[in-house]
């Protein structure tokens, strides 16, 4: 039985007492499901509080972005080493919201992935097509391009791990996920592309491909049941501990 990876992306939606309370409630609502690997990704400012709240539980900590340098004159940026010091083990990189609003490019994402790996963090590389790109039959072209931009020339040591999150942009926050079959088909395209970029054994043993975009307790199993879907990246449904607990329960049952 596989151990699904369930990553909660809180985005810029909870902070302060609310974030602390949510983390504490999630510890309780997911306590029974050790057969899932669960990662909470709050805002940078909440990392320390959430790290404290999940201490001693099965939950892991992640961040929503990082910079590509270790230290220096980079006002407003956060280094992977800082994230590590605050207890993070995962970091989301290249989310479509950052590509869109912060003009993050493939070259920037590539540098961030490398920096995260150097710091022993697991990068969660987000890729996905827009509605228009899909309508124009460009979905696979976009995914292949984003994978090449992010991973070209990358070398993973035996200890390093990578997660690729397929998130169709037009589905994020829409309440309307793609079907499990479509996710599986797309994941196979991603996997084939990864074989062009990384050694076969690395793709097989060190890279996981997960699905994101309107995942909820009702539809999560249709994704995690698929052979190449190693888990899910969850936005909206991760903001309520009861809903998120139900989602993890359904994912862990598969």
Q: Which residues are tagged catalytic? A: 95, 167
Residue 235 as a binder of ligand PGA (CB under 6 A): the answer is yes
In the complex, least distance from residue 56 CB atom to ligand PGA, rounded to whole angstroms: 27
* Alpha-carbon distance values, 139 to 101, 145, 208 (Å): 21, 10, 20
Interface pick for ligand PGA out of 66, 117, 143, 233 (rule CB under 6 A): 233
Interface pick for ligand PGA out of 94, 123, 180, 213 (rule CB under 6 A): 213
Distance between first and last Cα of the chain: 8
In the complex, least distance from residue 171 CB atom to ligand PGA, rounded to whole angstroms: 7
CB closer to ligand PGA out of 202 and 241: 241
H helices within the chain, ranges in order? 16-29, 47-54, 80-85, 96-101, 106-118, 131-135, 139-151, 180-197, 200-206, 220-224, 241-253
Q: Which helix (H) or strand (E) holds 232?
A: strand 231-234
- Nearest residue to 65 (alpha-carbon basis) of 94, 88, 86: 94
CB closer to ligand PGA out of 183 and 237: 237
CB 134 within 8 A of CB 155: no
* Alpha-carbon distance values, 17 to 46, 89, 218 (Å): 10, 23, 29
CB closer to ligand PGA out of 184 and 216: 216
- Binding segment for ligand PGA (CB under 6 A), chosen from 21-29, 135-143, 152-160, 230-238, is 230-238
In the complex, least distance from residue 75 CB atom to ligand PGA, rounded to whole angstroms: 27
In the complex, least distance from residue 62 CB atom to ligand PGA, rounded to whole angstroms: 12
Interface pick for ligand PGA out of 214, 219, 226, 228 (rule CB under 6 A): 214
CB 39 within 8 A of CB 8: yes
CB closer to ligand PGA out of 9 and 206: 9
Residues that bind ligand PGA in the complex, under the rule CB under 6 A: 9, 167, 172-173, 212-215, 233-237
């Amino acid at each position: 039985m596989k151990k699904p990876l369930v990553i909660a992306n809180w985005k810029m939606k909870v902070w302060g007492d609310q974030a602390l309370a949510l983390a504490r409630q999630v510890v309780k609502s997911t306590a029974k499901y050790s057969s899932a690997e669960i990662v909470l990704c709050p805002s940078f400012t909440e990392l320390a509080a959430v790290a404290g709240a999940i201490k001693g539980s099965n939950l892991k900590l992640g961040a929503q972005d990082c910079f590509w340098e270790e230290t220096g004159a980079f006002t407003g940026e956060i280094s992977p080493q800082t994230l590590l010091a605050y207890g993070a083990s995962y970091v989301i990189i290249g989310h479509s919201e950052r590509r869109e609003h912060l003009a993050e490019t493939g070259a920037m994402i590539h540098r961030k992935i490398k920096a995260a790996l150097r710091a022993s963090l697991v990068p969660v590389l987000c890729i996905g097509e827009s509605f228009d790109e899909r309508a124009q039959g460009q979905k696979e072209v976009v995914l292949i391009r984003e994978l090449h931009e992010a991973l070209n020339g990358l070398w993973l040591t035996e200890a390093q791990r990578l997660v690729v999150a397929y998130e169709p942009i037009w589905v994020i926050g829409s309440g309307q996920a793609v079907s499990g079959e479509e996710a599986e088909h797309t994941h196979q395209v991603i996997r084939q592309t990864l074989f062009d970029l990384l050694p076969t054994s690395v793709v097989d043993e060190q890279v996981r491909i997960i699905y994101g975009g309107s995942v909820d307790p009702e539809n999560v199993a249709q994704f995690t049941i698929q052979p190449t879907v190693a888990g899910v990246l969850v936005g909206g449904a991760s903001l309520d501990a009861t809903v998120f607990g139900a989602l993890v329960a359904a994912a862990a049952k598969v």
